[in-house]
Structure 1
Amino acid sequence: MPTLLPVFYLPPISWFSVFLKEDNEIVFEQFETFPKQTFRNRTNIYGANGKLSLIIPIDHSGKRVINELQVSNRDKWRSLHWKSIKTAYQSSPYFDYYEDQLEEIFNFKENSLFQFNLHALKIIQKILKSEKEFTFTKEYIRKPEQLNYREHFSAKHKSPFEMPEYFQSFSEKYGFLEDLSIIDLICNKGPESMTYLKNVRPI
């Protein structure tokens, strides 16, 4: 089934359940106008004080089309995000195993948000041993024929997906936090991540 997906920064688990579904033919949207406060430039991880949002700062120079958008290099966000991820997951069962690959995500120096997200996705696919292929839109279509997920994943509201609980490093303090970044699943479930993703269902 042709499925239109936005390109996210270290996407939530629900996004990956759609992306990796066998009968979904994935088309990435590359001509949409950048919407604020979405997972296109943010990801949620499980920090020592609960849910922590990591947000990539955007260079607001006038360009708003997602594949033209540039990131701002103020605040050294790459090193800060990597430090936050390392601090959050260094005690998780599989962080040491994937640390070098995860760190490689932040060695990408181009300033394109779109290309940075794709670079991160390719590394996550390697970790998951996924060879899922995808194509890109050729223009922006307001009412596409494909199954449209462009506005389906909200950074503000409860996830519209049902997912089984799994062990998380700080769950004894704050309980299970659902639908965090794929990083959370990988660091806690390791090789079982792909099996887990198959059990994530829309509510």
Structure 2
Amino acid sequence: MLSKDFIVLPSAYLPPISYYYFLSKNEAAIIDIHENFIKRSIRNRAYLLGPNGHILLTVPKRKTMFRSMNKIEIFKISKWTRKHWKAITSCYNSSPYFKYYKDDFENIYSFKHNYLFELNKRLNDLILDILKIKCNCIYSADYVITQNKEMDFRQHKYLQKFNYSKVFKEHNNKNELSIIDLIFNLGPDSKKYLKSIYI
């Protein structure tokens, strides 16, 4: 699949804030679900902010000979969904807007997804709806080849820090927080915040 005019992003789990900054600036984007899965990346990792600093969430995957993102299966035996939802609740229960969105997120965590990209897509669809971002996300039919490297964000380092949180302001971890940190703290003003920043 050849991309000329669209930004290209990886499928990501509870993606970082910058991910949605890029989506908010474009009318369409290609989500590459045929690239090789990259370990220790946003494809199955997200960072939350708790009272003691960053909390890493990792979706466990089954060991497999397949490397393509669309064939990565979630390891279902572990109780990861319960642990992740408990961590999210612990971090954001006191945030101003958590109560308005928690049911929608909890519904996704109560469903048993087979493939990682399916989980990521459901979360992405919900987040785009909450943020009212109109970007059309096209999921790739095969590996995406880009002619313009400036529009390819698959290898982007998500290390930005943003100052908006009213819950736990001080944190020194280099990794960028998940978009849900912004949503649960700013609610309907999250999109306005994305428009106000520059990366």
Displacement of 1:137: 2.4
Task: Answer whether contact 2:29 2:136 (CA < 8 A) is retained.
Answer: yes
8 A contact 2:48–2:177 mirrored in 1: yes
Q: 1:41 aligns with which of 40, 44, 63?
A: 44
> Aligned pairs, how many?
193
Give the Cα–Cα distance (whole angstroms) in 2 for the partners of residues 138 and 98 of structure 1.
32
Deviation at 1:62, TM superposition (A): 1.4
Structure 1 residue aligned with 2:147: 145
Q: Spell out the pairing of 1:71-150 with structure 2 (5 A cutoff).
A: 71-141=74-144, 143-146=145-148, 147-150=151-154
Q: Is the 1:11–1:43 contact (alpha carbons within 8 Å) kept by the matching residues of 2?
A: yes
Structure 1 distance, partners of 2:175, 2:197, is: 11
Q: How far did 1:144 drift?
A: 1.4
Q: Give the match for residue 7 of structure 1.
A: 11
| Alignment-derived partner of residue 64 in structure 2 | 61
Q: Which residue of 1 aligns with 2:168?
A: 170
Instruction: Call closer, same or farther: CA 1:168–1:105 in 2, change over 3 Å.
Output: farther
The AA in structure 2 aligned to 1:183 is I
Provide the C-alpha distance between the structure 1 equivalents of 2:102 and 2:125, rounded to a whole number of angstroms.
15
The equivalent position to 1:188 in structure 2, one of 158, 173, 185, is 185
Gaps of 5+ in 1: none
Q: Residue type of the partner of 2:156?
A: H
Stretch moving more, 95-104 or 26-35? 95-104
Q: Are 1:18 and 1:24, in contact at CA under 8 Å, matched by a contact in 2?
A: no
Cα distance change on mapping 1:58 and 1:175 into 2, 3 Å: closer
CA contact 1:105–1:123 (8 Å) conserved in 2? no
- How far is the alpha carbon of 1:75 from its aligned partner? 2.6
Cα distance in 2 for partners of 1:153, 1:181 equals: 14
Q: Is the 8 A contact 1:108 1:119 kept in 2?
A: no
Deviation at 1:135, TM superposition (A): 1.2
Separation of aligned partners in 1, 2:174 and 2:94: 17
TM normalised by structure 2 equals 0.89
Structure 2: stretches of 5+ with no match in the other structure? none
After TM superposition, the score normalised by the length of structure 1 is 0.87
